[in-house]
Amino acid sequence: MIDFRVPKSWLDHCKKVHGTACNQRDLALRHFNPMEIVLVDVIEACIATKTTASRYFALSYVWGNAVTTTTTTKNFASFQKPGSLEKLLTLPRTVSDAMVLTRKMGVRYLWVDCLSIVQDSPGKHHDIANMDVIYAQAELTIVAAHGIDANSGLSGVQEGKRRHRVMSKTLGSYTLTLKLPRSQSDILINTTHNSRGWTLQEVLFSKKIAHCYGSSSRISL
């Protein structure tokens, strides 16, 4: 299990040491202006209409072939009721894990495409066109780096979802040790997430990123 005090302390340290420096980026003015969005309230387990001025995390992941619940014009009102998202049996593991991670990091809101974009709304394409703004204004982007689809989950977020890794083994007088990638880029280079142009935009505009992969999680500042 992840000790959430650690990544939370990283984020707090960044805010304390860097201050507003993380917001001083060479981006267009539109990336800094608040806009109305739909966010997942991870405390009340429902969706809520807020603005990008709210403190929120964003999720970057590969949807793949996973069957997932989406927000539509028909269920929009019901999804605003507290507890409505807890009853969904088809909420992907990556999304539910991201909700847990957000809550345990002390943040109330999460932006995730399947729930924050009303899929059959005339405004859907407007939301898609503004995703760069959404990721640019998120306090942190959670990147599900190792997942091949939305059901891959985030390792270590919920109990029983992280596989034990054998790092070394003794054979007679020899000790065999697993060689780990030396850098973050080595770990991410061959992932499905890294191969998508869609996710490239999400990572490019994010202020801070929590890379969740295989057996560990890491925040890049």
Pick from 16-30, 91-105, 137-151 the range whose average pLDDT is largest: 91-105
Q: Which two tokens stand for residue 137?
A: 């204004």
For strand 109-111 and strand 46-51, is the pairing parallel, antiparallel, or unpaired?
unpaired
Q: What is the pLDDT of residue 221?
A: 40
Structure confidence at residue 147 as a pLDDT band (50, 70, 90): confident
Question: Where is pLDDT greater, at 217 or 208?
Answer: 208
Contact 112, 183 (CB under 8 A): no
SS (H, E, C) 110-140: EECHHHHCCCCCCCHHHHHHCHHHHHHHCCE
pLDDT digits (tens, 9 = 90+) for 154-207: 877 876 555 555 566 788 888 877 665 555 666 666 777 776 766 778 888 888
Tell me what pLDDT residue 197 has: 65
What's the mean per-residue pLDDT of the chain?
84
pLDDT tens-digit readout, 37-62: 999 999 999 999 999 999 999 999 98
Structure tokens at 59: 């999720």
Q: According to the model, what pLDDT value does residue 198 have?
A: 65
> pTM of this prediction?
0.83
The C-alpha angle with vertex 121 and arms to 119 and 90, in degrees rounded to 5, equals: 25
Average pLDDT over residues 113-133: 92
- In this prediction, residue 220 carries a pLDDT of 46
